[in-house]
Amino acid sequence: MVTATDGKEQRGAAKRFDWRGFDAYLFDIDGTLLHTRDGVHYESFLAAMEQLYGRKVGLEGIAVQGRTDPIILLDALEQAGICEAEGRRLLSAAISHMCAQVEARAHELRPELCEGVTKLLTELKRMGKLLGVTTGNVERIGWAKLKAAGIGEYFCFGSFSDRNETRIEIFRWGAEEARRRLGANAKVCFMGDTPADVAAAKACGFPVIAVATGIFPAEELAKGEPDMCIPDCETLWSYAR
Ligand SMILES: [Mg+2]
């Protein structure tokens, strides 16, 4: 594993992991590409729970980092006294409601790109790499954030939580889609900001670069033994080929 806190450590080890050598790069969205502090996505959960399940509840105490929208919603409902079976009965309607909410308020989205993201996406695209997103967001919300951030056009496809509910399934489908597009031997690499991203990529048997631009510090991410662990995307360029 390559771990860097300032981009200058372990250059020798970095040479053994050629981060430039992949055909496809699959990015988590929140905390990896961007941060949204506008509350639009968050409030869409609350609106859906009130509209579909008649519960005026929040997400207090519900883990959201590294988790997927349907699972967050079901957890919040359970905390509000709604069993999983009942939660699932209206799940697709609730997800649709969330998407409609976010799209109606898209002008309020204020995504902030993480350090070095634009340069990395631009360079990878210039190098002819296939770029995709693999995220716990549902599809319409994921694209709304990417579009609001001005980076939607870098990505050819996405693997979202309305197709697959768990992060491992989302990552596996994303890698398979990359190989459907590029061929069965295409080399795929994931990038993510949470231990869940690292674990999911490894469970699927793919390399993963952990980037500490979310809430998890590099030391915490390193415990999951990603192939590379860096403070932000900009740091990648400090590693010679
Ligand atoms: Mg994330």
pLDDT in tens, 174-207: 999 999 999 999 999 999 999 999 999 999 999 9
**How many angstroms does the Cα of residue 47 sit away from the middle of ligand 1?**
22
**What residues have CB less than 8 Å from 22, skipping those under 6 apart?**
129, 187, 188, 189, 207
**How many whole angstroms from 24 Cα to the centroid of ligand 1?**
19
Per-residue pLDDT band for 240 (boundaries 50, 70, 90) equals low
Q: CATH assignment of 2-36+112-239?
A: 3.40.50.1000
Task: Give CB contacts under 8 A, 24+ apart, made by 81-88.
Answer: 81/55, 82/53, 82/55, 86/53, 87/53
For the segment 8-54, what is each residue's pLDDT rounded down to a tens digit? 444 445 457 999 999 999 999 999 999 999 999 999 999 999 999 99
* Residues belonging to the chain: 241
In the reported structure, the alpha carbon of residue 35 is separated from the centroid of ligand 1 by a whole-number distance in angstroms of 9
Span from the CA of 178 to the centroid of ligand 1 (angstroms): 20
Question: How remote is the CA of residue 193 from the centroid of ligand 1, in Å?
Answer: 5
Expressed in angstroms and rounded, the spacing between residue 55 Cα and the centre of ligand 1 is 27
pLDDT of residue 241: 62
The Å distance, Cα 194 to ligand 1 centre, comes to 6
Separation of 68 CA from ligand 1 center, angstroms? 10
How far apart are the CA of 50 and the centre of ligand 1, in A? 26
Q: What is the pLDDT of residues 73-97, one digit of tens each?
A: 999 999 999 999 999 999 999 999 9
CA of 31 from ligand 1 middle (Å) equals 5
Other beta carbons within 10 Å of 223 = 12
216 neighbors 230 (Cβ within 8 angstroms):
no
Residue 115 burial by Cβ neighbours in a 10 Å radius (0-12, 13-18, 19+): middle
The pTM of the full predicted model, rounded to 2 decimals, is 0.93
Confidence of residue 1 (pLDDT cuts 50, 70, 90): low
Position 58 pLDDT exceeds 90: no
